């Protein structure tokens, strides 16, 4: 592997990841230092009351519409400082799956719409429905398994000296950032490089090919639809969408088969990609064992919700 390839495939993506993590940490910690958490969480206060979640969870939820890294950094800081429990950390992280989904929705729509037309609306409608179901389930679960927050007002946590000035907030943010970024990068960089090498040596491709070659249990799908699933697993989501679009245009697949094939491909390919792409930066924000647990719960709940909406769609239409 020559230097230009190392730069484009490893160094530049790692620099971009480092930049986004750094900006996310700074932004989240500045909001904390300025005591803006309550203001940021105000828009989702009814959901917080339903799920017995704190202002931290609400602020993280709101931030997740713009930056998942900022949202997770806020939760990690609150957990390390003892302001939220481990259980609330997990519930809050799962709660953020809805805004995280909407963060990526526009790009997914503009890939699918030109390729599969109205089937894109049906597919995205089902995935939105599954995200909403996950959110409702998480809120109901947390309501029964989390104690009521001791204090919901952020003003109760303000310094006794009075409101924080912007200058003091920036100073505090920089101090916290210096400590945090060293730990984050010391974990994220080695893990990212390790996953890059595994990918380079074909480990993930071999796993995906093995899964793609052992899809006999999908006999309820037509061979063309199974082909879409294989494309989606062995390549990227856009490859599966392109294959589905070509088969739909040729009349080889109907709209329902296209939607179900994309759902199945989504379910089978996402966990592996989550480990490959999410784990390096999750392990930098949270401890590696906790990061793995959060990814497991996120993907497990996501798969169950997609299976549910896919089954309902298959039976009802």
Q: How far apart are CA 145 and CA 139, in angstroms?
A: 10
Buried b (16+ CB within 10 A) or exposed e, 232-265: bbbeebebbbbbbbebbeeeebebebbbbbbbbb
Q: How far apart are CA 251 and CA 314, in angstroms?
A: 19
The C-alpha R_g of the chain, in whole angstroms, comes to 21
Tell me what pLDDT residue 163 has. 56
Among 107, 279, 112, 131, CA closest to 195: 279
Environment class of residue 2 by beta-carbon count within 10 Å: exposed (0-12), middle (13-18) or buried (19+)? exposed
Q: How far apart are CA 222 and CA 227, in angstroms?
A: 9
What is the value of pTM for the model shown?
0.76
DSSP one-letter code for 217 = G
Q: How far apart are CA 130 and CA 147, in angstroms?
A: 27
Among 208, 232, 213, CA closest to 116: 232
Tell me what pLDDT residue 214 has. 64
Tell me what pLDDT residue 154 has. 42
Tell me what pLDDT residue 107 has. 78
For the chain, 317 residues long, give each residue's pLDDT as a single digit of tens.
667 777 777 778 778 777 777 777 777 677 766 666 666 666 788 888 899 998 889 888 988 888 888 889 889 988 988 889 999 999 999 999 998 888 888 878 888 888 888 999 999 999 999 999 999 999 999 999 998 876 554 434 434 444 567 777 777 778 777 777 777 777 777 877 776 777 777 776 676 666 566 666 666 677 777 777 777 776 567 777 888 888 887 788 889 999 998 998 888 887 777 887 788 889 888 988 999 999 999 999 999 999 999 999 999 88
């Amino acid at each position: 592997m020559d230097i230009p390839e190392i730069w484009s495939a490893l160094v530049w993506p790692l620099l971009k990841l480092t930049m986004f993590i750094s900006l996310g940490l700074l932004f989240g910690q500045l909001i904390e230092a300025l005591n803006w958490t309550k203001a940021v969480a105000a828009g989702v206060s009814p959901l917080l009351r339903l799920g017995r979640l704190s202002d931290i969870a609400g602020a993280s939820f709101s931030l997740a519409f713009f930056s998942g890294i900022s949202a997770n950094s806020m939760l990690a800081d609150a957990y390390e400082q003892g302001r939220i429990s481990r259980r609330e950390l997990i519930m809050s992280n799962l709660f953020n799956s809805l805004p995280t989904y909407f963060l990526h929705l526009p790009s997914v729509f503009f890939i699918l719409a030109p390729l599969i037309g109205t089937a894109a609306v049906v597919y995205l409608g089902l995935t939105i429905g599954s995200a909403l179901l996950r959110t409702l389930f998480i809120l109901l679960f947390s309501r029964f398994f989390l104690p009521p927050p001791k204090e919901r007002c952020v003003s109760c946590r303000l310094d006794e000296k009075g409101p924080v000035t912007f200058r003091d907030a920036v100073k505090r943010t920089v101090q916290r950032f210096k400590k945090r970024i060293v730990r984050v990068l010391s974990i994220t960089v080695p893990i990212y490089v390790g996953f890059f090498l595994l990918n380079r040596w074909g480990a993930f491709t071999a796993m995906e090919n093995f899964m793609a070659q052992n899809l006999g249990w999908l006999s309820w799908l037509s061979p063309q639809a199974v082909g879409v699933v294989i494309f989606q697993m062995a390549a990227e989501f856009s490859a599966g969408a392109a294959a589905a679009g070509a088969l739909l245009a040729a009349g080889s697949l109907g709209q329902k088969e296209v939607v179900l094939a994309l759902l199945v491909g989504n379910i089978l390919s996402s966990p592996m990609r989550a480990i490959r792409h999410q784990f390096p930066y999750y392990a930098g924000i949270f401890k590696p064992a906790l990061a793995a647990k959060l990814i497991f719960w996120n993907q497990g709940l996501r798969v169950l919700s997609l299976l549910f909406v896919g089954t309902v769609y298959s039976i009802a239409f």
